[in-house]
């Protein structure tokens, strides 16, 4: 399925730590079976003036700088499209930005089932010249209703949530199926050793060994937790 995840960014170095740690890091390093490869395209490699060539002042005036469409286009065409026979069919281009659909667990599921390779585009400054977005972007995804200084953190969040859903990324696949947002519910609470801590004991049922009773307790807790913390999710249950 998904073979490559591309990122167009001014700061590929930001992805260093992301690749170094945890289940997603080791998946993307190819240590967990058949996982997509992360390929980083540095925008300044596609201008003659390096970093100085990436942005320019906005037509019409106003604050801040805008990333140039011609530079972004060059990075996309030369850095990525050139490696595909039919880039229009083989790639989906996703821009990070506040205008996008709010990224959530179903977006992660959709991306994890994607048959095309994915290109994430990370903006900086005031964003990217609209003409590039118009021509090349299939989908916009937002991390939430706030403004980040760049798309990289959003992009890492999208990749993290997507890759951990791929077969083999997480050792125990049940842990993915039972997580929050599956069936529009939050997860039940977890406890581990010691049995007595923070002035509280671990609920007895969890130490009973009675799997039926444990399941029932967890189902009830899922409902209670969702009602308490995210009642809006319950409204989505048909």
Ligand X SMILES: C[S@@+](CC[C@H](N)C(=O)[O-])C[C@H]1O[C@@H](n2cnc3c(N)ncnc32)[C@H](O)[C@@H]1O
Binding site for ligand X (CB under 6 A): 96-98, 122-124, 126-128, 142-144, 146-151, 154
**Regarding beta strands 66-67 and 55-56, do their DSSP bridges make them parallel or antiparallel, or are they unpaired?**
antiparallel
Q: How far is the CB of 102 from ligand X (least distance, A)?
A: 9
Among 150, 152, 177, smallest CA distance to 164 is for 177
* Helices and strands (DSSP H and E) totals, the chain: 10, 9
C-beta closer to ligand X: residue 76 or 128: 128
* C-alpha span between 235 and 220 (Å, rounded): 17
Q: How far is the CB of 66 from ligand X (least distance, A)?
A: 9
Tokens of 175: 């842990």
C-beta closer to ligand X: residue 28 or 154: 154
Q: How far is the CB of 140 from ligand X (least distance, A)?
A: 9
C-beta closer to ligand X: residue 154 or 186: 154
Could you tell me if 32 and 23 are in contact, meaning their C-beta atoms sit under 8 angstroms apart? Answer: yes
C-beta closer to ligand X: residue 21 or 146: 146
Among 68, 66, 49, smallest CA distance to 58 is for 66
DSSP string, 175-197: HHHTSTTGGG-PPPP---S-SEE
C-beta closer to ligand X: residue 149 or 174: 149
Could you tell me if 95 and 137 are in contact, meaning their C-beta atoms sit under 8 angstroms apart? Answer: yes
Closest CB to ligand X: residue number: 123
Q: How far is the CB of 158 from ligand X (least distance, A)?
A: 9
Q: How far is the CB of 87 from ligand X (least distance, A)?
A: 21
């Amino acid at each position: 399925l998904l073979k490559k995840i591309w990122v167009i960014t001014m700061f590929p170095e930001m992805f260093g730590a992301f690749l170094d740690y945890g289940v997603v890091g080791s998946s993307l390093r190819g240590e967990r079976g058949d996982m997509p490869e992360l390929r980083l395209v540095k925008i300044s490699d596609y201008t003659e003036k390096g970093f100085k060539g990436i942005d320019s002042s906005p037509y019409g005036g106003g604050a801040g700088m805008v990333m140039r469409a011609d530079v972004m286009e060059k990075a996309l065409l030369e850095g990525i499209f050139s490696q595909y026979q039919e880039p229009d069919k083989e790639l989906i281009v996703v821009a990070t930005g506040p205008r996008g659909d709010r990224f959530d667990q179903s977006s992660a599921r959709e991306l994890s089932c994607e048959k095309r390779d994915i290109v994430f585009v990370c903006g900086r400054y005031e964003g990217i010249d609209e003409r590039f977005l118009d021509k090349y972007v299939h989908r916009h995804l937002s991390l939430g209703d706030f403004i980040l200084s760049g798309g990289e953190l959003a992009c890492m969040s999208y990749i993290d949530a997507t890759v951990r859903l791929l077969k083999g990324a997480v050792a125990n696949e049940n842990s993915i199926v039972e997580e929050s947002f599956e069936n529009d519910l939050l997860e039940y609470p977890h406890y581990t050793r010691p049995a007595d801590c923070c002035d509280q004991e671990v609920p007895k049922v969890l130490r009973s060994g009675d799997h039926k009773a444990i399941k029932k307790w967890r189902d009830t807790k899922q409902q209670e937790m969702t009602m308490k913390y995210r009642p809006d999710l319950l409204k989505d249950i048909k």
